[in-house]
Structure 1
Amino acid sequence: MNEPIFLRLRKRLSVKPSAVITLGDVCQLYWDGVREDELNRMPIYQIKPEDGHFIVIDIMQVIRKLRTLYPEVPLEVQGAPQVIVEVMNPRKKANPVLVTLVWLILFIGSGLAIMNFHTDVSMQQVHQRIYYLITGKNSQQPLWLQIPYSLGIGMGMILFFNHLFRKRITEEPSPLEVELFLYQQNLDQYYVQNENKENQRTKT
């Protein structure tokens, strides 16, 4: 019984509504290899309807549970001090009309943004000037420059977002995925800090 229990709290967890969160769900643990299964099944928290979509479980809740069963066993805690639990409520089916409307708005808006940018930088005059420098002739529509340029914009967007429909081109994350990852980290930090403030209010 003198061998310590090693705990590493996970950073994030997704569960179903009304689920029972166990010790094995919120952390990785190692003991003597025999009683680990019993510890993994130990309940930590019961999801309630009033909990909302996100719950923060602190390492102190885990320690209190372990101390009730094994008060004399030393604990070695590593990793994050809190784990964020996301309650995965059933998703509603997407409305096809709403999806089509949003797609049209984004498509038209992005097209207008590209056209306005090209107007601001006088892209048509640039193409005309390049055509004149190469051929020595004036042309109001140098298509052999404009068509490859337009195709290049599409190819550049595909390479930038690293996706062709749902297929990933390379294993590297796209800039959009990196930004979403950073945004999720900021959200997690906000939930943790907000939970700490709520705990301080309840104590006063």
Structure 2
Amino acid sequence: MGQESVFLRMRHRVQSELGQVVTIGDVAQVIASQPVKREIILLPIHSITIEDKTFVIIDVMKVIEKLRANYPTYDIQSIGPAQAIVTVNQAKKPLAPVYFVLVWFLLFIGSGLAIMNFHEDVSMRAVHLRIFQLVTGNEEAKPLLLQIPYSIGLGLGMILFFNQFFRKRLNEEPSPLEVEMFNYQQALDQYVILHENKENKADYHAD
């Protein structure tokens, strides 16, 4: 009988609860014969405790070490990323309505001031007056015929830019904000993997 082969691919990020026993199947995709796979995915690899705080890094070397201890004759091969980030879901207190209103008010005032300051910097009022004069031949201090559609278009443009109206998405394309948040999350994950991985710290102290 040939040697049993096991292929592992670590998941990038998984969710867990306090007190949960994380298994190999939780943090990695496993390819093997069905009987072997059913055993491997149920093997515990880490128990979530209060000391783990927000996240835990599970290194593929720890998984391979666990498999070697239980199945010393298996041919174990790793494919893809070398770590999985296990995020510990903490109990969150509901946001009080007064804090919600305060945050909404600050964001509303801040965004309004940003738009007004931008318009003042580029002399938007003078531009509107000049355009209105060129199009109609009349001079008015408040060309509402031009300013009202512009204000409506500004709001619609923000909706199209962020690709979302309240909770409803306009299409499947990610918005620029979502792309920036994704890039930030990727950079944060890389930082966590490099600086919080216990295996990396152990290698450093060993050297």
Q: How does the TM-score come out when normalised to structure 1?
A: 0.96
Aligned equivalents of 1:203, 1:152: Cα separation in 2: 62
1:2 partner SS? coil
Letter in 2 for 1:73: Y
Letter in 2 for 1:179: E
Number of equivalences: 204
1:170 partner SS? coil
Equivalent residue runs for 1:90-169 within 5 Å = 90-169=91-170
Unaligned runs of 5+ in 2: none
The residue that corresponds to 1:24 in the other structure is 25
Aligned equivalents of 1:101, 1:2: Cα separation in 2: 64
Aligned equivalents of 1:24, 1:10: Cα separation in 2: 10
Aligned equivalents of 1:25, 1:13: Cα separation in 2: 7
Equivalent residue runs for 1:1-204 within 5 Å = 2-196=3-197, 198-200=201-203, 203=206
Aligned equivalents of 1:55, 1:35: Cα separation in 2: 26
Aligned equivalents of 1:202, 1:90: Cα separation in 2: 35
1:79 partner SS? coil
Aligned equivalents of 1:35, 1:158: Cα separation in 2: 51
Aligned equivalents of 1:87, 1:114: Cα separation in 2: 39
Letter in 2 for 1:121: V
Deviation at 1:203, TM superposition (A): 4.0
Aligned equivalents of 2:16, 2:159: Cα separation in 1: 34
Letter in 1 for 2:66: K
Aligned equivalents of 1:14, 1:182: Cα separation in 2: 20
1:141 partner SS? coil
Q: Deviations over 1:124-161 (max 9, x none)?
A: 11111011101111011111110010001100100011
Unaligned runs of 5+ in 1: none
Deviation at 1:32, TM superposition (A): 1.1
Aligned equivalents of 1:69, 1:141: Cα separation in 2: 80
Aligned equivalents of 1:46, 1:71: Cα separation in 2: 23
Deviation at 1:201, TM superposition (A): 5.5
1:191 partner SS? helix
Aligned equivalents of 1:15, 1:35: Cα separation in 2: 24
Aligned equivalents of 1:21, 1:29: Cα separation in 2: 15
Deviation at 1:38, TM superposition (A): 1.4
Aligned equivalents of 1:199, 1:126: Cα separation in 2: 64
Deviation at 1:3, TM superposition (A): 2.8
Letter in 2 for 1:69: N
Deviation at 1:11, TM superposition (A): 0.7
Deviation at 1:83, TM superposition (A): 0.5
Aligned equivalents of 2:38, 2:20: Cα separation in 1: 19
